[in-house]
């Protein structure tokens, strides 16, 4: 079987081109009891890597009704060091257990010499990094037997050594490995503001033909030594109006795509999250249904 | 020349040690040495891990109060950063750290309370196992009880402390209002287990700890209770055995 066979293999329960919501334990019971009209849910893979107990019980129940997307935060794909094989095996067992419609990870690193640094750290955009990241993605796609989506990062600093743009870098990864891309529109807004480029120009240049999913989330604001704005990808608030506007621009280019509302701390009442998802659904419904994207 | 490895080593060193300068390779479109921007990563790492520890050790967070907990957690993180992306496995040595921390030497029970909370979290994520139907236990002839070897629930953990850790944990986590605990009331033997969805923490009767640990090692009930009686004058075999048979601890058995 070639990789393209793997890519076209139908998954058990595909993620529809609708709004989905990042699943939080705070909302397990309400979701199970009220069966809200949400297109799908996404979970952080690492939260379901324990052996048993409440997380698996509730997710299993929710998975009976809804399509599920699995989003990894701990594989450290951007590390120079080899992938953690034990962690990769854990991700595979989460995928085997829940048969997600999509699996995604980040263009970032988080583990170094045995220490887990608990953040999605930036990589320099060089040929050396590109080769290493592609090796790691090939390894993951082979281990999982499926295509993954790679998310564009939110970043706060740049590297002197970078000699290609983030978009060139992500496009090259998608072309070389056959992986898809996850376009996080809030990350585009955060990184654009932090590095002094217009988020619109990034969206206009993004290779939307590789995009399989969109993320929307909230950010916090701070400033640096020169009083320039710094935006922080905090996922602790509602999606900002500017990010909704940017989403309109992105989805007009890509066509209708599964779109996730992410809210990971200071988690609101279910009704507030659900309202965010409805807002995304209204925007998606205005797009042509035959998306050209992957 | 593996530039990426060198860059990541320098980045990781500066990240965990705020006293270090930021890595030379890092820049921004405003400041040439963007310390405040690099500090976003430092804050993300520290505050994310402090939150993770507060979620693992809610009674400790409550006992220490916000300010002291943050200060203690920062010192722990600097000395013992996590080694796994699974944050529910972070903090195994937090109890040892608290027990040895100079500023906390007036609160010697903190270490064992943290060890209790660590075992709570491991039971929460532990493997599921259905307890045995009590009717099956009822089928054991009374005169064969001494020769029974029990399989105990895989989430079961035991912790013995010279401090009343079950009372301290209970009032900080379960009670609606925290009530003072008399430290001179003596130590607790704690049982931690998760028979279904909820983790249970119970105070064991005198001698039950010895009996359960012997049973865990595969001893027969007769031998385990004899050892318990040797170790504790207050061991009441009937009540301890009734507790055991009524608990959801037993998942299987064999008769010699």
Tally: H helices and E strands in chain B: 10, 6
Confidence check: pLDDT of A9 > 50: no
CA distance A19 to B97: 45
pLDDT recorded at residue A10: 44
CB B26 within 8 A of CB A159: yes
Does residue A116 sit in helix, strand or coil? strand
Cβ contact, residue pair A53, B45, below 8 Å: no
Q: Are residues B102 and B142 part of one domain?
A: no
CA distance B39 to B238: 61
| Residue among B84, B88, B156 with most chain A CBs within 10 A, to mutate | B84
Q: Are residues B57 and B100 part of one domain?
A: yes
pLDDT recorded at residue B2: 66
**Distance between B5 CA and the closest CA of chain A, angstroms:** 5
For B1, which residue in chain A has the nearest alpha carbon?
Answer: A128
Q: Are residues B163 and B78 part of one domain?
A: no
pLDDT recorded at residue B163: 98
How would you class A9 by CB atoms within 10 Å of its CB: exposed for 0-12, middle for 13-18, buried for 19 or more?
exposed
Neighbours of A292 (CB within 10 A): 10
Q: Which two tokens stand for residue B240?
A: 């301890």
Q: Which residue has the tokens 């955009």?
A: A125
Contacts of B92 in chain A (CB under 8 A): none
Confidence check: pLDDT of A3 > 60: no
Confidence of residue B32 (pLDDT cuts 50, 70, 90): confident
Measured in degrees and rounded to the nearest 5, phi and psi for residue B102 equal -55, -50
Q: Are residues B99 and B134 part of one domain?
A: no
pLDDT recorded at residue B251: 93
On average, the pLDDT of chain B sits at 95
pLDDT recorded at residue B138: 85
Confidence of residue A13 (pLDDT cuts 50, 70, 90): confident
- Total domains in chain B come to 2
What domains are there in chain A, each with its CATH number?
A: 3-285 (3.20.20.150)
**Distance between B121 CA and the closest CA of chain A, angstroms:** 10
CB A167 within 8 A of CB A153: no
| Residue among A29, A105, A117 with most chain B CBs within 10 A, to mutate | A117
**Distance between A189 CA and the closest CA of chain B, angstroms:** 16
End-to-end Cα distance, chain B: 66
- Statement: the pTM of the whole predicted model exceeds 0.90: yes
- Region of poorest pLDDT, from A28-37, B131-140, B199-208: B131-140
Nearest to B116 by CA among B58, B178, B48: B58
Does B123 reside within a domain?
no
Cβ contact, residue pair B37, A230, below 8 Å: yes
Q: Are residues B207 and B87 part of one domain?
A: no
**Stretch B120-124: mean pLDDT:** 97
CA distance B26 to A190: 18
pLDDT recorded at residue A1: 43
End-to-end Cα distance, chain A: 20
Contacts of A52 in chain B (CB under 8 A): 125-128
For B4, which residue in chain A has the nearest alpha carbon?
Answer: A80
Q: Are residues B137 and B192 part of one domain?
A: yes
Higher-confidence residue: A220 or B33?
Answer: A220
Confidence check: pLDDT of A204 > 90: yes
Strands A158-159 and A149-151 turn out to be: unpaired
Q: What is the pLDDT of residues A262-287, one digit of tens each?
A: 999 999 999 999 999 999 999 999 98
Q: Are residues B100 and B140 part of one domain?
A: no
- Which residues, at least 6 apart from A41, have a Cβ–Cβ distance to it below 8 Å? A20, A21, A22, A23, A31, A62, A66, A67, A68, A69
Measured in degrees and rounded to the nearest 5, phi and psi for residue A96 equal -65, -40
Does B121 reside within a domain?
no
Domain of B252 in residue numbering reads as: 128-256
CB B114 within 8 A of CB B95: yes
Q: Which of A117, A156, A224 sits opposite B15 (nearest CB)?
A: A117
Q: Are residues B150 and B44 part of one domain?
A: no
Contacts of A157 in chain B (CB under 8 A): 26-28, 34, 37-38, 41
Does B113 reside within a domain?
no
Does B112 reside within a domain?
no
pLDDT recorded at residue B131: 84
For A46, which residue in chain B has the nearest alpha carbon?
Answer: B86
Q: Which of B12, B87, B124 sits opposite A53 (nearest CB)?
A: B124
Does B118 reside within a domain?
no
Strands B188-193 and B200-203 turn out to be: antiparallel
pLDDT recorded at residue B245: 84
- Which residues, at least 6 apart from B3, have a Cβ–Cβ distance to it below 8 Å? A124, A126, A128, A161
Does B97 reside within a domain?
yes
Q: Are residues B240 and B138 part of one domain?
A: yes
- How many residues would you count in chain A? 294
Higher-confidence residue: B137 or B57?
Answer: B57
For B49, which residue in chain A has the nearest alpha carbon?
Answer: A118
Q: A90-96: which pairs have CB atoms within 8 A and are 24 or more residues apart? A: A90/A45, A90/A49, A90/B86, A91/A45, A91/A140, A91/A144, A92/A143, A92/A144, A93/A49, A94/A45, A94/A48, A94/A49, A94/A70, A95/A70, A95/A144, A95/A146
**Distance between B10 CA and the closest CA of chain A, angstroms:** 10
**Distance between A32 CA and the closest CA of chain B, angstroms:** 16
| Residue among A90, A116, A190 with most chain B CBs within 10 A, to mutate | A116
Cβ contact, residue pair A156, B41, below 8 Å: yes
On average, the pLDDT of chain A sits at 94
CB A139 within 8 A of CB A112: no
Q: What is the pLDDT of residues A224-268, one digit of tens each?
A: 999 999 999 999 999 999 999 999 999 999 999 999 999 999 999
Q: Are residues B94 and B201 part of one domain?
A: no
CA distance A70 to A41: 9
Does B204 reside within a domain?
yes
Q: What is the pLDDT of residues A35-65, one digit of tens each?
A: 999 999 999 999 999 999 999 999 999 999 9
Nearest to B98 by CA among B42, B151, B161, B143: B161
Contacts of A60 in chain B (CB under 8 A): none
Contacts of A79 in chain B (CB under 8 A): 8
Q: Are residues B241 and B148 part of one domain?
A: yes
- Which residues, at least 6 apart from B35, have a Cβ–Cβ distance to it below 8 Å? A225, B22
For B36, which residue in chain A has the nearest alpha carbon?
Answer: A224
Question: What ipTM goes with this model?
Answer: 0.93
Q: What is the pLDDT of residues B168-197, one digit of tens each?
A: 999 999 999 999 999 999 999 999 999 999
Confidence check: pLDDT of A7 > 80: no
A to B CB pairs, distance under 8 Å:
151
**Distance between B225 CA and the closest CA of chain A, angstroms:** 31
Q: What is the pLDDT of residues A70-95, one digit of tens each?
A: 999 999 999 999 999 999 999 999 99
Contacts of A119 in chain B (CB under 8 A): 41, 44-45, 48
Cβ contact, residue pair A156, B37, below 8 Å: yes
Does B92 reside within a domain?
yes
Q: Which two tokens stand for residue A87?
A: 């962690």
Confidence of residue A294 (pLDDT cuts 50, 70, 90): very low
Q: Are residues B96 and B137 part of one domain?
A: no
């Amino acid at each position: 079987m070639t990789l393209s066979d793997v890519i076209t293999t139908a998954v058990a329960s595909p993620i529809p081109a609708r709004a989905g919501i990042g699943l939080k334990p705070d909302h397990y019971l309400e979701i199970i009891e009220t069966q809200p009209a949400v297109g799908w849910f996404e979970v952080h893979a690492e939260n379901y890597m324990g052996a048993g107990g409440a997380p698996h019980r509730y997710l299993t129940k929710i998975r009976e009704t809804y399509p599920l997307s699995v989003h990894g935060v701990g594989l450290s794909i951007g590390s120079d060091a080899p992938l953690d094989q034990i962690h990769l095996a854990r991700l595979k067992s989460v995928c085997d257990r829940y048969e997600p419609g999509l699996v995604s990870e980040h263009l970032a690193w988080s583990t170094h010499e045995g220490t887990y640094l608990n953040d999605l750290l930036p990589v320099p955009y060089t040929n050396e990094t590109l080769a290493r990241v592609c090796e790691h993605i090939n390894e993951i796609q082979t281990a999982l037997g499926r295509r993954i989506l790679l998310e564009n990062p939110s970043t706060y600093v740049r590297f002197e050594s970078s000699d290609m743009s983030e978009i060139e870098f992500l496009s090259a990864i998608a072309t070389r490995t056959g992986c898809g891309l996850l376009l996080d529109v809030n990350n585009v807004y955060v990184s654009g503001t932090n590095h002094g480029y217009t988020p619109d120009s990034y969206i206009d240049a993004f290779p939307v033909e590789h995009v399989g999913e969109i993320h929307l989330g909230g950010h916090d604001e701070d400033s640096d030594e020169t009083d320039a704005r710094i935006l922080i990808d905090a996922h602790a608030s509602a999606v900002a109006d500017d990010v909704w506007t940017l989403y309109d621009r992105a989805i007009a280019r890509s066509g209708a795509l599964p779109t996730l509302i992410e809210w990971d701390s200071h988690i609101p009442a279910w009704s507030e999250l659900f309202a965010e998802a409805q807002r995304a659904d209204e925007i998606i419904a205005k797009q042509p249904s035959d998306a050209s994207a992957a | 020349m593996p530039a990426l490895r060198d860059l990541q080593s320098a980045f990781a060193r500066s990240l965990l040690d705020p006293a270090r300068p930021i890595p030379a390779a890092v820049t921004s479109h405003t400041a040439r040495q963007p310390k405040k921007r690099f500090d976003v990563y430092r804050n993300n790492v520290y505050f994310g891990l402090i939150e993770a520890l507060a979620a693992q050790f809610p009674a400790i967070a409550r006992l220490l109060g916000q300010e002291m907990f943050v200060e203690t957690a920062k010192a722990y993180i600097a000395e013992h950063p996590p080694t796994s992306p699974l944050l529910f496995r972070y903090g195994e040595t937090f109890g040892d750290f608290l027990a040895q921390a100079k500023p906390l030497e007036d609160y010697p029970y903190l270490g064992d309370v943290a060890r209790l909370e660590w075992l709570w979290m491991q039971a929460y994520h532990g493997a599921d196992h259905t307890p045995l139907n009590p009717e099956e236990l009822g089928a054991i002839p009374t005169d064969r009880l001494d020769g029974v070897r029990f399989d105990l629930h895989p989430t079961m953990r035991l912790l013995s402390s010279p401090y009343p850790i079950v009372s301290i944990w209970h009032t900080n986590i379960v009670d609606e209002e925290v009530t003072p605990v008399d430290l001179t009331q003596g130590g607790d033997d704690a049982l931690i287990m998760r028979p279904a969805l909820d983790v249970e923490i119970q105070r064991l009767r005198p001698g039950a700890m010895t009996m359960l640990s012997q049973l865990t090692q595969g001893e027969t009930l007769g031998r385990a209770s004899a050892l318990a009686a040797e170790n504790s004058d207050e061991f009441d075999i009937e009540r301890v055995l009734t507790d055991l048979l009524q608990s959801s601890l037993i998942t299987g058995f064999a008769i010699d």
